[in-house]
A and B are shown apart, each in its own frame.
Chain A
Amino acid sequence: MLKILKYSFYDLMRSRWSYVYFLFYLALGFVLLFLNNDVSKAVITLMNVIIVLVPLIGTIFGVMYYYDSKEFTELLLAQPIKRSSIFLGQYLGVACSLTLSLVLGLGIPFLLYGLFRSDVIFDFSLLLVTGAFLTLIFTAIAFNIALSNENKIKGFGYAVLAWLFLAVVYDGLFLMSLIIFEEYPLDSFSLAATMLNPIDLSRTLILLKLDISALLGYTGAVFKQFFGTNTGLIISILMLLLWTILPISRLAYKAKRKDF
């Protein structure tokens, strides 16, 4: 598995797209800091970017890579290598190179602008951790979709739809249901609904740091318990881990049974 991971990783490191992705984050980081000159405000803006763009790029990249390297995969399948190591190796190769681009691309400008001297270092590292999680989750989802669809166009379509659903539509439905059922006690429901969407989950994780004063404005014991203590942080991170493990295990399971 490690060999395939290494191969995929180096393959991507040599490809133009990783550089484009890395340079994009580098430029974004520098521009934000240049315009704001305020690390804490830049962190807020970055949050908006990360919870929308990182999943999108992870999805597209994952699907693209899978279809692109399909012939190579078939070649590998003819060798005496375990199937799960082929697919997991490829998946981890993509996810790691994307995460690396993200962490380096954003880390370098912030380091240069004196991250260690400011008090947002914890917020910023939380942002990077969430970004890394989102990359892992959405690349895994993309691989799942690609694996289940032979047709490239269909695969792409489903992948983009999955992103659109989780990033935008889900929140819309969530909001509608909250407003329709506003007479009922909704705090447990709203927290549960947040847990079921990785994008919402990472958003909550960041909100816990940035907007805690607003979140505590709501009267409700469940919210208070969740947002007011460390429970929220711990549960969110555990859920993100679960969200990473689930698609990966499905990927391994499907890959074993797929007929090529």
Chain B
Amino acid sequence: MKYLNGLLVIIFLFSGHCLSAKTISVCSSCKIKSIKEGIKVADEFDTLLIKKGTYKEFNILIDKPLTLLGDKFPVIDGEDQGEIIRITSDNVTIDGLFIINVGTSYTSDYAAIRVVKSENFLIQNVVLEKLFFGIYLEKSNNGKVYHNKIIGDAVDEYNSGNGIQLWYSKNVEVDRNIVQGVRDGIYLEFSDNITINNNISTNNLRYGLHFMFSDDDTYTNNTFENNGAGVAVMFSKRIKMIGNTFKKNWGTAAFGMLLKEINDAEISGNTFEENTIGINIEGSNRINYKNNNFIKNGWAIKVLGACYTNTFTKNNFLYNSFDISYNSKLNDNVFDQNYWSNYTGYDLDKNGIGDVPYRPVKLFSYIVNRTPETIVLLRSLFMDIIDFSEKVSPVFTPDNLLDANPLMKRTK
């Protein structure tokens, strides 16, 4: 064994020259002055060390397994000409670049970094500014998008792109990115088994995070603030949404979370704070809402119809203008053991559960649904009186819509 080991070491030493990856430096005073030139001379599994400086290049095609490593954030300036980096090979790593001025087009989606039909890619520590699309993954699986910063300056929805877009991609990890000022912060279409963690998506025109036809995805501990709407989850199955924060999504069509045609999802431990509508639910079935905090929203939950067998347990509803709004008289959803700050009942047997059921739907929310201008009468004494009479004998609200075991103290 000992000899064999020694032999192996000798073989590796000799063959090391051609087997191990070279590092090729790119800078304005080096032998290789542009990134394209660097890629041309590099062999597979080489590392391109791009030194600090400005490189005016676009349509950079990476067609072999390479590592592009930026030293002190070199700038790649696309000069609004078009796409900047396109990856068509497996095992490509891009690290530490500063990419600006991606071209805008109405016919093709120019991206700062586009990955096409490739596997095992890693894009990290990249800063993108003045972009159309940021990082665009197209039919690419098993990769990682980590710790990037995307700062757009989008003004209109029709001529802006998305920060991170996944299209027909599977098993991708999107972690610790900061995305702001684009159309959709993170956009998923036909992408399954994606994990999206610890991202911060703010000030985007449309959605902070947007799912379309994507199943079995998980997103946890993300923050969505001041977007057109925080997260839109549409036409997807088995999505897990855990521990996210949805904040200050204000406006006429602004939601913390928008659920449309979502089945079998899990929504737990999230915080919805100061949104016009915390969660807007449409045509979504068999969803578990657990341990969420709804704080100071206009509407904590707005149910628009065709929502069946959803369960809401152990949530905190704190100081919302309206807790729940329903537009039909039919109810098939279960509310149990939530804490409602508007609850006025008592607990005589001291088991922590109120002795009188709580009715979360107020008559006033019906009136506002019908005639929206009546919102100016919010918190008026007259409204309190008719809400009280509706509470005593429900006529307009579904009479089985109640929390039979409202908690006396908020859950942790």
Contacts and interface: CB of A to CB of B under 8 A. Distances in A.
A172 B276 contact: no
Interface stretch (B139-147, B294-302, B306-314): B294-302
Interface core residue of B254, B319, B322, B379 (most chain A CB under 10 Å): B379
Contacts, number: 106
A165 to B, nearest CB: 11
Interface string A197-214: 000100110110011111
B378 interface: yes
B28 interface: no
Interface centre among B296, B299, B383 (most CB of A within 10 A): B296
B274 A178 contact: no
Interface in B353-378: 367, 370-378
A211 B372 contact: no
Contact of A216 (B276, B296, B383, B385): B276
Interface of A: 40-41, 44, 47-48, 51-52, 167-169, 171-172, 174-175, 178-179, 182, 186-187, 189-191, 194, 200, 203-204, 206-207, 210-220, 224
11 contacts: A41-B319, A51-B381, A171-B383, A178-B374, A207-B378, A213-B274, A213-B276, A215-B298, A217-B254, A218-B372, A218-B375
Size class of B's contact patch? 20 to 34
B280 to A, nearest CB: 11
Interface string B280-297: 000000000000000011
**A contacts with B: majority SS:** helix
Contacts of A178: 371, 373-374
A171 B321 contact: no
B338 interface: no
Contact of A214 (B378, B380, B381): B378
Contacts of B380: 171, 200, 203
Contact of A168 (B275, B341, B371, B382): B382
A182 B378 CA distance: 17
Nearest to A218: B372
Interface centre among A174, A189, A218 (most CB of B within 10 A): A218
A171 B382 contact: yes
Contacts of A214: 276, 297-299, 321-322, 375, 378
A203 B374 CA distance: 14
A149 to B, nearest CB: 26
Given A213-B296, A217-B299, A47 B367 contact: no
B250 A175 contact: no
A171 B381 contact: yes
The 9 A-B pairs at the shortest CB distance, nearest first, are namely A214-B298, A171-B382, A214-B321, A213-B298, A186-B373, A219-B252, A182-B371, A217-B276, A190-B373
A121 to B, nearest CB: 17
Contacts of A182: 370-371, 373
B277 to A, nearest CB: 7
Contacts of B385: 168
A241 to B, nearest CB: 20
B41 to A, nearest CB: 58
A25 B341 CA distance: 23
A48 B379 contact: yes
B385 to A, nearest CB: 7
Nearest to B320: A214
Contacts of A175: 367, 374, 377, 382-383
A227 B64 CA distance: 57
B384 interface: yes
A179 B251 contact: no
A41 B381 CA distance: 18
A179 B374 contact: yes
Contacts of B375: 214-215, 217-218
B23 to A, nearest CB: 53
Interface in B240-291: 250-254, 274-277
Contacts of A203: 379-380
A190 B321 CA distance: 19
Contacts of B374: 175, 178-179, 190
Contacts of A216: 250-252, 254, 276, 298
B353 to A, nearest CB: 19
Interface string B307-351: 000000000000101100000000000000000010000000000
B382 A172 contact: yes
Interface in B380-397: 380-385
B373 A211 contact: no
For A187, A194, A215, the residue with the greatest tally of chain B CB atoms inside 10 Å of its CB is A215
Given A175-B367, A213-B296, A214-B299, 18 more contacts: A48-B381, A51-B381, A171-B381, A171-B383, A182-B370, A182-B371, A191-B376, A200-B376, A203-B379, A207-B378, A213-B297, A214-B298, A214-B322, A214-B375, A216-B251, A216-B252, A218-B375, A220-B373
A41 B295 CA distance: 11
A179 B321 contact: no
Contacts of A213: 250, 274-276, 296-298, 321
B379 A194 contact: no
Nearest to B248: A213
Contacts of A171: 377, 380-383
A90 B298 CA distance: 44
A189 B276 CA distance: 23
A171 B376 CA distance: 10
A232 to B, nearest CB: 11
A211 B384 CA distance: 16
